[in-house]
Structure formats: structure tokens, C-alpha cells
Structure 1
């Protein structure tokens, strides 16, 4: 018997046929209106839901799907999935940990280079016919700090360490003793010790405003912030103030509090590089992401352990 998957995501369409070729029936609902209609019209048919962290799945939606058995989240974050409601129903939740780590790490290094070497401003001024040969900081040898050393954090650390001779430090809940990087027990202590601070930790209540005004102050006037994870990890008001007042040198952001709305104040600053939440998007990442979803679904419906379970 074929299983029906409610697809809430909108970024991996090209590779969804991988699921259909494996026998899954897909109900695509990539916006709020289609989502509500699909749940109302097909509630009894839905066996699985494919979503992503910011889209999530609410307790009321879970309750409305009587035959839901598994929720697959693309990407590492699952902050808007109601894990308590899922657990109460015995519903399995998986995520896409590691599937797009290479793409995110590549984008992080691109942001790092663009920010420190002032590439966007140099490009824009050259196109205007100017010849502003501004001296910009080197990247090689800068001290890199990473908050969160999962698959993405490790991929960033590897590129920075091996490619740019950057000493790497990190903060996570517990030290990763198998890795040759320096662990700090708090974001504040990490920020004091580095030149560039990268956010690579999942969102959610546990990491809400982990980077606040004190951490930004510790990073200092020659320090840079890069966020390719979730906007909620950083106190956005404190970040804007730090950028406007020169408390930090600059920031590169791929994530924002109210996407797709980016604050005009951020756009107006010359010490920011802004991209529209695309760090994890590439053809290769989309293919690997859907492949991992398929493997999780196949394992689950075969009565086998899923590959990337989320523990509530």
C-alpha cells in the first residue's frame, strides 16, 4: 500500500520525484493557504509530513492528522515542530542533519570572504566607474569561533582551518574531545577569544538570544559576526545597535527574524552582507536532502530504525 506525504517545503521541488518514484503519493502545500486546505481535505490520508524548521508542524495540525506516523524535517533545525505533541502520539520525527552541511559551509566561507574583503562594496563602486582601492583585512590567520559544532560547524571549521590557516575555537553544550579545536564554556568567553564569530547552532528556546549585547561587546570593534543558522540565536536589536555604533566591525547574515522582510536599517549599513536564506540551497544539497528523507521514510515504513531521529 502506498503512503501519502504532505509536502510543506518549497525548496526541493526538483528532487521530489525521487519520493514519487519510490511509490509515495505527494500532496504539495507550499504556502499557508494550501497547507490549511490540504489538512482539511486530506487529513485521513496523510501518513507523513515533510517540512522544515521555520515552517514546522503545530500541535493542532498534528491533532488534525489521525493517521500521521512520521514527520521528516529537511535541514538540521526543527524549532517549529511541536515535539511534545508528536511524542504524545508516538509520532517519529527525523531531521536532515548533515545533508546540506557542505553547501552551508561553502556559503559561510563566501560570506566570510565577502565581508572581510569588502567584496560587495568594491564591486558596486567599480560598476559605478570608481576606483576605490580600499585596504581590507586578510582572512588567513584570523581566529574563528563557531557556536555549534554539529555537521555544519565541523564543515566550516575544516574549511577555515585547512584552507585559511584559521585557528578554530567553538562553544557547544559539551566539548568534542575527538576534535582538535579549542572549546569554550560560554559564547561570551568564545567571543572574547576570536576575530570572527560564526553562528551554526539550531534555533529554538534553548538557543534564543545566545548572542546578546554582552557577547557582541566581547567580540569587539574589530570583530565580525556571521549567521548562517537561525536569526533567533542573535539578539537582532543588539546586533543592529552594535553595527551602527561600531561596537563590531561588521556582520554577514543569511537569516532574519521576519523572513522575507529584512529591516531597512540593516540594508542601509555599509558593514553588512545580506543574503536571502540560501546557504543550504544547491542542487547537490537538495538532492541529498530528499534522498535522506526517502531513506528515513523507507526505513520507518519497513519497521527499521530511522537514520536521523530527533529526540524530543
Structure 2
């Protein structure tokens, strides 16, 4: 008998046949309405949930699924999965560290270049019949600041240092001297020493609005902010004000606080590049994340330890 699998994310729709072949009975519920209806009507049967950090899974939803054994986050994040509720129930929680790091790092550099060289604006102008040049700073040789130096941060740093000859600094709670990059204990100090500040830190309470008005002012009127992490890490209203007032030069955002709802004030600005939380959505990255999910699920239902448990979440073994 196939294992009932509740899927709360849209990006794996093409993999439903593969999930069936792997012994699961997938139930696809990517919208809020489908999610609520499915949990209410079929929650008694669900044994595994596939979600992602931003989509999450609430404690009351877990309570409505008495047979639930394992929750898998497709990417590295798990900030909106109720880990305390999972721990009380003994529910395994896994995530996918490193599976989409290459794709996200590529996208981060695309946003950085697009914002600095004003590529979307230039493209739009040409399509309107214009042919006047757009001025933007060089990227090569500039200072790259990274908030976070995990899998994604290290990939971005490598592209900046080796591809563009950038001087790389990073801010983390603990220094990583093996990286060879300059460590900053304070994010404002990092911003002051950066031309391009890239957010690559996890979401959650510990990083909520870490990039605030003071950090943006430290980045300064020639600086650019790129966020490929979580929208909650950046104070959106402070960012809008800084962009409107020219207190920073521009921004490239793949994530926005409160997404998918994007503030109209942000959409009206011509010094920001916006993409719809798609940094990790390359075919290669989705394949990697799905493969890891299936490995974790297979291990769990075979009674073995999962490969990538979320820190401090319950897991077998």
C-alpha cells in the first residue's frame, strides 16, 4: 500500500509520477484553500508532508494529522515549520542543505549584476524604442559583503572572489578562518565596508529585520543590497525608504517580506530588480532537492536514520 504524502509546494508538480513510483500516494495541495481542505478531509491518513521553509507547517495542522511521522522541507530553510510541535509528537523533520546552493548563488550574482548595470531598465527602454545608454558601476574589484557563509554564502563568495576579483567579507556568529575571507562580528561594520551586501542567512526570529535602517545607512548611497535568503531578514519599509531617498543605490530581491504580496511602493521603484523567489528553481536544483527528499523518506520508512535532520528536531537513531 502506498504511503499518503501531502505536498504543499507547487514546484514539484512534474515529480508526482516519480513519487508514486517510489511508493507514495501524493496529494498535491499547493494553495491555502487546497491545503486547508485536504488536511480537514484527509488529514487522518497523511503520514508524510513535503513543504519548504517559507510554506512551513503549523502545529495545529500537525495535530490534525494523527498518523504524521515525518515532515520534509525541500530546501535548506525550515523557519515556518513548528519544530516544537514536531518534537512533542516525535515527528521527524528534515531539510535540504546545499541542494540548491549553486543555483541560488548563480541567481544572486545575476541580481547583483542586474541591479548594478540596470539591465531590466535597459531592456525595457530598448523595447520601447529607446537607445540611450544606462550608467552603472563596474562589479569587478569591488567589495562583496555576505550575511551568512553557509553553502549558499560560500558559493556566492567563490563567484565574487574568483570570477570578479572582489574582496569578500562576511558576518556570522562564529568566524570561519578556513574560508580565507574577512570576518565581521557586526553586520553594520560589514555594510560600511561593502559595495554589494548580499543576504544569505536563514530566516526566523534570530535574523528578523537584521538588515534595518542602520545597516542600510551604513551601506550608503553607492551601495547595493541583494537578498536571496528570506524576506523577513530585511526591514521592507526601511528598504523602501532608503531606495526612494537614494540612501542606497539599488537592490536585487528574490524574496520579499509578506510574499507573494509585494508592496506597491517597492514595485514602483526603478532602482530595484525583483524576481519571484525563484533563485533555487533550476532543473538541477529541483532534481537535487527531490532526490534528497526521497532518500530521507526512504530511510525513515525503512527504520534508518534520515540523512539531513533539522538540528534539534526529533529523528530516528
TM-score (ref. length: structure 2) = 0.95
Structure 1 residues 153-202: Cα deviation after superposition (integer angstroms, max 9, x where no partner): 11111111111111111111211222111111021111111110001111
**Retained in 1: the 8 A contact 2:234–2:257?**
no
**Retained in 1: the 8 A contact 2:254–2:277?**
yes
3-state secondary structure, aligned to 2:248: coil
- Counterpart of 2:45 in structure 1 is 45
- Counterpart of 1:219 in structure 2 is 219
- Counterpart of 1:114 in structure 2 is 114
Structure 1 position 294, deviation (Å)? 0.2
- Counterpart of 2:31 in structure 1 is 31
**Retained in 1: the 8 A contact 2:111–2:252?**
yes
For 1:121 and 1:32, the matched residues in 2 are separated by: 34
3-state secondary structure, aligned to 2:76: coil
Structure 1 position 19, deviation (Å)? 2.1
TM-score (ref. length: structure 1) = 0.97
Which aligned segments of 4 or more residues in structure 1 are displaced greater than 3 angstroms? none
For 1:222 and 1:132, the matched residues in 2 are separated by: 22
Structure 1 position 59, deviation (Å)? 0.8
- Counterpart of 2:132 in structure 1 is 132
3-state secondary structure, aligned to 2:43: helix
**Retained in 1: the 8 A contact 2:147–2:200?**
yes
Identify the range of structure 1 (219-228 vs 40-49) with the bigger mean alpha-carbon deviation.
Answer: 40-49
For 1:175 and 1:24, the matched residues in 2 are separated by: 43
Q: Cα RMSD between the aligned structures? A: 1.3
3-state secondary structure, aligned to 2:179: coil
Structure 1 residues 102-149: Cα deviation after superposition (integer angstroms, max 9, x where no partner): 111111111111111111111122222222123321011111011111
Between Structure 1 and Structure 2, how many residues are aligned? 312
Q: Which runs of 5+ in 2 are unaligned?
A: 313-317
- Counterpart of 1:174 in structure 2 is 174
- Counterpart of 1:80 in structure 2 is 80
- Counterpart of 1:275 in structure 2 is 275
For 2:311 and 2:54, the matched residues in 1 are separated by: 18
- Counterpart of 2:151 in structure 1 is 151
Structure 1 position 15, deviation (Å)? 2.3
For 1:168 and 1:295, the matched residues in 2 are separated by: 35
